[in-house]
Amino acid sequence: MSSTLLENLETTASFGPIHHLPHWSRFEADKVVPAVGELLDETEAAFDALEAEMAGGQASWDRLMVPLERMQIRLGVMLGTVGHLLSVKYSDALQEAYDAVRPRYVAFSNRMAQSRIIYEAMVAIRDSDAFTALSEARQRILTESIRGMERSGVHLEGEPRARYEEIQQRLSTLGNDFQTNLVREEKDSRIRIGDPQRIAGVPAPILTAAAEQAREDGIADADAQNGPWHFVVNGVNYMAVIQQGTDAALREAFYRAYRDRGTSEGFDNRPILEEMLRLRQEEARLVGFDNYAALSIDAKMAESVDDVWSLLGELEKAARPAAETELKALERYAREHGMADTLAPWDVAFVSERLREQQYDYDSEAIRAFLQMPRVLSGLFDLTERLYGLTIREAAADAVPVWDGSVRFYEVLSGDEVIAGFYVDPYARPGEKRGGAWMNTVVGKSRTLAGPGQSSSLPVALFVMNGRPPEAGKPALMSLDEVRTLFHEFGHATQHMFTDVDEGGASGLNLIEWDAVELASQFNEYWMEHKPFLKEMTRHVETGEPLDDGTIDRIIDSRNFMIGNGTLRQLLFGKVDLALHQRYGLPGSNDPDTPFEIEQQIAGETVVTPMLDDESQLPAFGHLFSGGYAAGYYSYKWAEVLAADAFAAFREAGLDDEAAVGEVADRFRRTVLGLGGSLPAADVYRQFRGRDASAEALLVDQGLKAAG
């Protein structure tokens, strides 16, 4: 029976030349434990055999690295599919199944990362004459695999080795608990409003969803016009209320509830994150680093922690004067319009929206009517064709297995040849889908996975958003921020899908340093500010008319509205992350400050807008405690510098010169998008730009520094 279960889950679907697509619906909770158990049995036996073979010497790429890749892919696909489903179709039963198999998976992953036999076999290849005969991609895969094993404690023996493995198990459990708490807490969260006067200004689709939630909660006669309204505390509802709701008490309730995520009884992430920080510091010391920040930076594009602090300081110095001027303008506007003599934290976004509307004369909520998701997607795909000579077409709704009926699948073509595919999961599903937006890989480009007649597998991506679901009979409407998010995530997908590297360990996003990973995504956002493109993307949902030129000009002109404060807020997150992983929880440390006191100290030094005295982002900061950004959140600003400098190359060529743009885009595709992790990110960037990036283009573009 067990063998049949494993075979059933590992059997994949195909769509033309695209293979290895999971049958998502087969991953039922009761199937996961026995299937993963058998898979681990088989993989552990294969690893035993590989170690025995390598112990005999004569290691080579084909005898060592290819079998390792096969094992890693097989395990990664199985656990990755389950992990993805937990993010988008959460259930307690699936979570329990994942919790049951995770310890053994983590233990085996640690064993692979700490195998002295495998490590010494890799070193033997690296130090042999055969190394120079390997391609650049293979050389980097081998070199970085060795470095990765060294960072994973391959040299540890005895008690330190056992302690390292114990830490890894515990961190895996804690990270999983951190994210699960947020999903479960959101499922239970409600802000209940019965007075129609209190919901003034809240967008109609948000009220419709809140009334529907009230009906699901047992109030049969709830309706969007008269209430009551049960708001789930998630990002979609929070942003709508905090920006548009005229009732300050409602905004305050949402602000406090959103800031309190991860702190309520039964879902409290505060002890979890404190323990994780201490364990990370202990892990770093075990493998020879002073602190976890140093361990993290060792695998990044930045050369040192000091280099990161230097960049953050440069950006903060440029942004602070603008932020202080912006705050004075907000306070003045609020006083003049009788809103408040002193801004409260829940007033800032609301007053900002009103000031932006006055200065730039457009209503961000009204703009949604011009941004129909099908049209926006079409515009994004047209941009891809213009830049890279590729076309994108949607598959029939039932052509590919999906995890939800709202998910769509697309294929990417170069001429008549299919080269990649991707899934899009666009809408929020409270209680079963975690918040935010992200891109992930389903299938990588790899020789190991090549199908019949193929030299390598075709890469497949997925990207997930949490937009407002469409109203009945209408297309989904998007905000400008949601469109920007779509472009951002698709930028990640281009780097995965358009790779020219067919060595799985270095194709797509693999081996790209974490602080360079956001380059392609943030670069893609810049096209939203190109007027001809933005106009073509807009059509009113009822009249079919595009946005007028004046409004589009004002939208583009407003791109740097509140940029000083936006920059300081991002710098706050990056500084807190780096400081915590440099100084908190070090073995033997006498630092009396808690993570929250460190956060509040840095907030007081960094941001100028008001915050609650005890406000903390940390209990809901999934990037740091259930994602991959620990001591790496600065990557967004580091890569933003790269992205601005990269887009400057297109501006220099002339954005309206199709031939010139095509030449730069071709070079961008062949280098930044094409080379993956086959070379260090700095070398790849130099191949594209002819030099290193500087912060000049970013600061000038954001109006934080004069041109020239």
Is residue 206 included in any domain, yes or no?
A: yes
Nearest to 646 by CA among 499, 495, 496, 505: 495
Residue type, 275: E
The encoded tokens of residue 100 equal 């049951």
To the nearest whole number, what is the mean pLDDT of the chain? 94
Instruction: Express each pLDDT in 329-378 by its tens digit.
Output: 999 999 999 987 899 999 999 999 999 999 999 888 899 999 999 999 99
pLDDT at position 458: 98
CA distance 210 to 288: 52
- Which are the contacts of 374, defined by CB distance < 8 A and separation ≥ 6? 475
Q: How many CB atoms lie within 10 A of CB 282?
A: 17
| Residues with a known catalytic role | 489
Kindly state whether residues 98 and 212 are assigned to the same domain.
no
The answer as to whether 350 is a domain residue is: no
Same domain, 97 and 222: no
Residues 200 and 143 in one domain: no
Contact 125, 59 (CB under 8 A): yes
- 143 and 195 share a domain? no
Residue 627: per-residue pLDDT: 84
Stretch (H or E) spanning 216: helix 204-216
Residues 242 and 136 in one domain: no
Note whether residue 545 is domain-resident.
no
Residue 275 domain-assigned (yes or no):
no
* Omega cis (within 30) before 228: yes
- Going by C-alpha positions, the residue among 619, 614, 588 that lies closest to residue 603 is 614
DSSP assignment of 637-655, as one string? HHHHHHHHHHHHHHHHH-T
Q: Which two tokens stand for residue 624?
A: 């740091």
Tens of pLDDT, residue by residue over 461-488, are 999 999 888 988 899 999 999 999 999 9
Cβ count near 321 (within 10 Å): 11
Summarize pLDDT for 565-602 with one digit per residue, the tens: 999 999 999 999 999 999 999 987 776 789 999 999 99
Asked whether residue 63 is domain-assigned, the answer is yes
Could you tell me if 140 and 193 lie in one domain? no
Cβ atoms of 202 and 241 closer than 8 Å? yes
Low-confidence ranges of the chain (pLDDT < 70): 1-3, 591, 708
Check whether residue 147 and residue 198 sit in a common domain. Answer: no
The domain boundary, picked from 259, 284, 308, lies at: 259
**DSSP single-letter state for residue 64:** I
Residue 90 forms part of a structural domain: yes
pTM beyond 0.85: the answer is yes
Contact 399, 15 (CB under 8 A): yes
Give the three-state DSSP class for 393.
strand
At which of 123, 151, 179 does a domain end? Answer: 151
Q: Under DSSP, is residue 110 helix (H, G, I), strand (E, B) or coil? A: helix
For residue 338, CA distances in Å to 351, 498, 511 come to: 11, 53, 54
The number of domains in the chain is 2
Q: Where do we find the tokens 């930044």? A: 672
Q: Are residues 234 and 102 both part of a single domain? A: no
**Measured distance CA(403)–CA(406) in Å, rounded:** 9
Residues 97 and 230 in one domain: no
Of 151, 170, 199, at which residue does a domain stop? 151
Look at residue 3 in the predicted model and tell me its pLDDT. Answer: 67
DSSP letter (8 states) at residue 18: E
* Residue 229 and residue 146 share a domain: no
Same domain, yes or no: 58 and 139 = yes
In a domain, 10, yes or no: yes
Structure confidence at residue 705 (pLDDT): 87
What is the CATH classification number for the domain harbouring 56? 1.20.1050.40
CB 540 within 8 A of CB 284: no
pLDDT for 593 equals: 86
Residues 11 and 87 in one domain: yes
Please give the pLDDT value at position 1.
41
By residue range, what is the domain housing residue 216? 189-259
Residue 127 domain-assigned (yes or no): yes
